[in-house]
Structure 1
């Protein structure tokens, strides 16, 4: 909520009155000092930024991992929180903001990131990846899972490639002529690799998701 019974605006922190940890973390939002930033976004109104902040903390609050007061005194966590919020609040996509919150929950709070450096690399990966690229990877994996595993990746990908490309165009508006280059660009992340090598009647352009994709997906997707 943003207003009291008399129509007066109230602070963002008060929305989380029942969660003192979330309320304390809000005071650490970058670009302001403590509650001063809280007042600015509520009273002077950058509505877009306010909604991004709310989306991020709503996702944190609903996470399965319990946030504790000890986190506020953990310098490594505070560094991860600050870096994650800066990246999340730059994103215009609500779904991606929620992915940032889940990465913080799973990677930094639950400790699934192997080290602070590992978390930073995962965060940079998510920041660099567009949400449409992520949707393309999920769509590709959905098709890939309909084929049996094979040591030869081309044998696995070839049967589903044309259907995937058609879906890529109809669902994500990626032109068929651009599908291969679009997917190849994602290889910069390490989540997807182009298939190379000499195969009969293969001229290139196809690829396959990597083990890194599976790990990353577990860190940023909503638990079912």
Structure 2
């Protein structure tokens, strides 16, 4: 999914993710036929169970090949897709969404320095199901001096893709959001592109993937860097 107007000159999530992974020393391998691959949730959630399962199987085979049967970790930039993948794909695959991958692999590869920024974060429903609320907060606090977690905001109401067709769901779910954000909050971060669209619409600030914040707050370790 492409950029929103609020991204300005910033690169897309895929470009930023690849840039960050390469900065951390990873060789990024994309599975074959990437443009035709899907976790299947978009079909399954609308009752097309057979089609959803078929897409999941296609993705499974492509990722097994690309990862050499689980030899290499698999990174997915959308936490809702990652949860679906964990539920449907081979147990041989070592699957990660952004937060867990960053916490596991980045501290030994990149130097984190807190930015003098006040930011907001949002834990998606899928991340909550995977128990990642505290881990998202941990990553954010590694990158920014002050992190705001709005108390009265749970599900953003985008509900997969229904925010496009039923915007009132998103508007209702995020009604308390704007008043819970201090005026000096600069931006917000999450782990789902669709959720971030709704959050940006109803917060008055731009929400992006957490990888944008991590990229800004990290540097490559160099000899004498910490001297």
The reply to whether TM is greater than 0.5 is no
Higher alpha-carbon Rg: 1
Q: Which structure shows the bigger proportion of residues in strand conformation?
A: 2
TM range (shorter): under 0.3
The structure carrying a bigger helix percent of its residues is 1
Question: Of the two structures, which has the highest relative contact order with CA contacts closer than 8 Å and spacing of 6 or more?
Answer: 2
